[in-house]
Structure 1
Amino acid sequence: WSGEANKRVFLWAEQGIGDEIMYASLIPELAATSSKLIVQCDERLIPLFKRSFVDGIEYRCRKSPALEDSYDCHIPMGSLPNIFRPSLDSFSKASKAYLRCESERSQELRKTLLKGEAKTLIGISWNSSSPIAGAHHRNITLSDMAQHLDGPNVKLVNLQYGDVSDEIAKLREDHGIEVAEVSEIDNRNDIDGLAALIMACDQIVSIDNATVHLAGALGANTRVLLPFNRSWQWGLERSDSYWYGSLQLHRQKKPGDWKHALKTIK
C-alpha cells in the first residue's frame, strides 16, 4: 500500500511490541482512508486496540494470518511513517493519548495500592529484554532508580516485566525501600492489565522499553531515562518526544552514567 484511498489494507507488524505500540498511533489515519483494515499484531495488544480504535477493524495475531483474497494491498507497520509522518511538522496531527485502558479496573487498582494513604504513586521500570545489540546500555539498576525516587510521600509501583521478586527483596533488605507489586497482573503478558496499572499511577519513570511506549500511548505522565547512545525515535537532543506528547526525556551525558539524568527528574 502506498497511500491509495478506499482500498482493503492489510497492516502487519514486523518489529517488537514497543514498536507496534508506537506505530499504532497511525492506525486511525490508515483506517480513515481504507475501505477495510486488517491489523496483524501481537495478540497481547488486541484487547487494548479493540477498545481504543474505531469499530470495523479486523484484528489478527501471527498464528492466524489474513487470507490473501481478503485484502487488496499490504504494508508493514514500520513503513506507515513514510506516508503519514514525512516531516516533523506532520507529527502535530498526533493524538496525545490514542490507547485507552479499562478505566474501572485502573481506579480499583489505584484504591488497592493507596490503601487510603495520600501518597504519590510512581510506577517504575528499569530493564529491557530487547534483543537489539547494545540494548543492555538502556538498563539501570533498581537500586539506583529507587533510591533517587523514594520519599515519605511516595509509593513505588512495579511495572517491570519478568520475575524481579529477588531484586525487589534485595532492595528492601539493603535500603529499606518497598516496591509494591500487583500479583494479579503479569506485566509481560497481560498488556491490558499493565495499561490499567500504568494509569493508576501519578507518574511513570522508565528506561526505553515496551513499558514506556505503552505509557506514552496512554498519555501517562512519564519520565524516560535514555542512554548516551539512544534509539532513533527519541531524536538527538530534545527533551520532549514527537511520538508521545506526555513524555519527558532525560538523557545520559556520559555513557553508563545515570547521575545527571536522575537529577533532572523531579
Structure 2
Amino acid sequence: MTDVTALEAEGNALLAAGHPEQAEQRARRLLASGSMTVTSFHLLALSVRAQGRIEECRDILGQMVERLPGNLTLRFELAETLLMLGDFERGWREYHHRYGMPHTASLERKVQKPRWDGRPIPGKTLLIHDEQGYGDTFQFLRMVSWAKQRSQARVVLQINLDQKGFAQRSAGADALVLRGELPPPFDVHCEMMSLPMAMGLTLSDLPGACPYLSAEPARVKRWRRRLARLPRPLVGLVWAGRPTHLNDAARSVTLDTLAPLGMPGVTFLALQKGPAEAQAATPPPGMRIERLGDEIADFEDTAAILSLTDLLISVDSSPVHLAGALGRPAWVVLPFVPDWRWLLEREDTPWYPSLRLFRQDRRGDWSGVVTRVASALAGVRDERRDPLSDRAPRRGV
C-alpha cells in the first residue's frame, strides 16, 4: 500500500529543494496508485511548471479549478500561469482571487462600495488604490489615466508615501491620498491591479504612452553633479531583490555571479539596497563600482540616477519597473521560469519598450545569461569609444 502522505511530503520537499524532476516522479507515482488528492495533483502542476512546461501546468491547474472552484490558491496559480502565456482575457479574471488565499486575506482592503466594472460613470468619484509591491505600482500607474478617460469620473488615487511624488507628476488622478489615510467620499473603487480586469486589458493595448513617469528635476540636478566626475558609460547594477519575496532564491544573484561584467571602460553604479548592498564593498576583480546605496534615500533618488545612466542591468526587481516607466534602457536577467509579467521566449516586453530581457536557458544556470550580457555590454562600451558613433545611448541599448 502506498503511503500517500509520506510520498506527498517527500515530493514537496524535493520541489522546495530544487529537484522538480524527482518531485514529478513522486507525483506521478501517487496518481498511478490511485491517489486523487488535491496535494498530489498540485505537486504535479508545480513540478512541471518548475521545469518550464507552462502549458502542461496550465492544463493541470485548469482541470483542478473546474473540480474545485472554491480553492482560490489554485485559481491564483492558474491566473499567473495564464498571464505568463499571454492569455490576458481569462488571466485577469482569475487574478481577482489573489486576496482569497490564507496568507493574503489580511492584505485585502475591505471597501464598502462596489468595484468599478469599467463602464463610464460621469459625475461619480472613482477611488483607485495601490497594492502589493513597489514594482507593481510602477507598472500599473500607467492605467490611472486610462481609467480616468474610460470612466469619465473624478479619480482619487490612494498611494503609498514612497511613490507619491511619481503619482503627483503623472497624469490621471484628480486628487491623491496616502495609504492609511481616510479618502474623500467616493462612489466606486478599484485596486490598481484590478484595472486590467475592469478595462479588459489586452497585449495589444500595451505599452501605451512611454515614458509615463518622470524624475524630480531637483534630484536629477543633484545627482548630475554627483556623477559628473565618473567616466562613462555609467551602468546601474542591482543584483538582488527583496529577500522576503517568495521567489527570491530563483531571481536574485550575488555580485560575484556578475563578475564577467567587470571590464575596462565601464563604470558600475551600485544601486543595490538591503543586506546585499554590503557585497559592493568587495567587488569582483576588474569591476569598477561606485557604491551609492547609502546615498540613495528613496525611489526619487533611484529615478534621478536612472535618468543619468546609460544603462541599468538588474535582476527582476522594482528598479526595473521604474526604469521602464521612465523610458530608460535596462537589461533584465531572468530565471528559467520568470514572473508572469515577462511572458515566455521573448527578449523584449510589451510593458516597456526600453527593456531587454536575458533569460536562463537552464534552471539555476546564470553563467550563460551573464556571458550574453557581458558580450552585449562590451558592444555598448566599444560603441561609446567609437568617435563616429552617436554619443547618446540607444533606446533599449
TM-score by length of 1: 0.88
Amino acid at match of 2:196: P
The letter of the residue matching 1:185 is: I
Is residue 191 from structure 1 mapped to residue 313 from structure 2 by the alignment?
Answer: no
Aligned partner of 1:135 among 227, 232, 248: 248
Which amino acid counterpart does residue 135 of structure 2 have in structure 1?
G
Q: Which one has a bigger Cα radius of gyration?
A: 2
Quote the residue 1:170 is aligned against.
Answer: 282
Which has a greater percent of helix? Answer: 2
Q: Which 4+ stretches in 1 moved above 6 angstroms? A: none
Task: Measure, in 1, the Cα distance between the counterparts of 2:261 and 2:346.
Answer: 23
Q: In structure 1, list runs of 5 or more residues that go unmatched.
A: none
Q: Which has the higher contact order (CA 8 A, sep 6+)?
A: 1
> Matched residues in 2 for 1:166 and 1:86: separation?
41
Note if 1:202 corresponds to 2:339. Answer: no
- Given candidates 173, 181, 191, the residue that maps to 2:291 is 181
Q: In the alignment, is residue 241 of structure 1 matched against residue 349 of structure 2?
A: yes
> Which digits, 9 at most, give the CA deviation of each residue in 1:66-115, with x for residues without a partner?
14xx11100111111124453211215x1221100024532442342241
- Tell me the SS of whatever aligns to 1:175: coil
Structure-1 separation of matches of 2:161 and 2:218: 23
1:30 maps onto 2:147 in alignment: yes
- 2:157 equivalent to 1:39: yes
Q: What is the letter of the counterpart of residue 184 of structure 1?
A: E
* Contact 2:280–2:291, Cα closer than 8 Å, also in 1: no
8 Å Cα contact 2:203/2:350 also seen in 1: yes
| Amino acid in the other structure paired with 2:206 | F
CA distance in 1, matches of 2:177, 2:350: 28
Q: Which of residues 150, 161, 186 in structure 2 aligns to 1:71?
A: 186
How well do the aligned residues superpose, as a CA RMSD in angstroms?
2.0
2:290 is aligned with what amino acid? A
Q: Is the 8 A contact 1:113 1:180 kept in 2?
A: no
Distance of 1:79 and 1:46 partners within structure 2? 20
Match of 2:239 among 105, 111, 126: 126
Higher-strand-fraction structure: 1
- Give the 5 Å matches for 1:62-101: 62-67=179-184, 70-84=185-199, 86-91=201-206, 94-101=208-215
- Taking the TM superposition and a 5 Å limit, the aligned residue runs for 1:213-252 are 213-252=321-360
CA distance in 2, matches of 1:240, 1:176: 30
Instruction: Give the equivalent residue in structure 1 for 2:380.
Output: none
TM-score (norm 2): 0.60
Over 3 Å counting, the alpha-carbon distance change for 1:168 and 1:130 in structure 2 is: closer
- Give % identity: 29
